Amino acid sequence: MDRDLGVALGFWGLGALAVVAAFGIILTQNLLHAVLLLILSFVAMAGLYLTLSADFVAVAQVLIYAGAVGVLIIFAIMLTPTSSRINADTVFFGPGLILGGLVAVVMGYVAFKTPWDTVEGGGFDSTVAAIGDGLTNRWALPFEIASVLLIAAMIGAIVLVRADVPGQVLHPEGGVADEPAMEIAEPRVEGDRALVTSGRTDA
């Protein structure tokens, strides 16, 4: 009884917080405020996972979404300064509201009208051992594929945002002053060497 009351309070409080924070992303005009609201929404959703007795996933949500993805988005906003700090709307503001509202209403209607085959008193004591067992036995192959996917995405992201392409000769002065750091040393050294050798041949 007491536990049910706590779950109900957590559900309504955290659910309202998650929905209000998500709405705030639409309404706010400042991109950084939008990111902070997104992180708040993610933390509220981690609390909702806890009310579903999903402890490991809740911690992973805080670590990966609220932590890593939030910091990543803040970095992306910092790397795209000026001209893009305003949270403006497209022409799909009205149609998007109608479409999103319709999706929510239809899915909510189905959720409340369907006679789900539920079990009473479900839930887990601790999910960590069961998840570890599942990931190393039954779902070991998808787990390995996910690791390959992660490293492919990581390498792809590094290649995409790298300032210099290897082999490309930069300015003779090695001046990439416009670029925000992260320049690679080697091409510049080659450029300098090329400049020096050409100077010697000229002399």
Partner 1 sequence: MEVGLEHYLGLSAMLFGIGLWIALAKRNAIIILMGIEIMLSAVNLMFLAFSRFGRSETPIAGHIFVIFILTVAAAEASVALALAVTVYRNRGTVDIDRIDLLKS
Which secondary-structure segment (H or E) carries 191?
A: helix 185-202
- Per the listing, tokens 């039954």 go with 138
C-beta of 29 vs 198, nearer to partner 1: 29
C-beta of 36 vs 195, nearer to partner 1: 36
Q: How far is the CB of 58 from partner 1 (least distance, A)?
A: 9
CB 50 within 8 A of CB 58: yes
**Which amino acid type is present at position 33?**
H
Q: How far is the CB of 164 from partner 1 (least distance, A)?
A: 12
Q: If we measure between CA atoms, which residue out of 94, 90, 48, 41 comes closest to residue 70?
A: 41
Q: How far is the CB of 172 from partner 1 (least distance, A)?
A: 22
Q: How far is the CB of 13 from partner 1 (least distance, A)?
A: 12
Which DSSP letter does residue 195 get?
H
C-beta of 99 vs 196, nearer to partner 1: 99
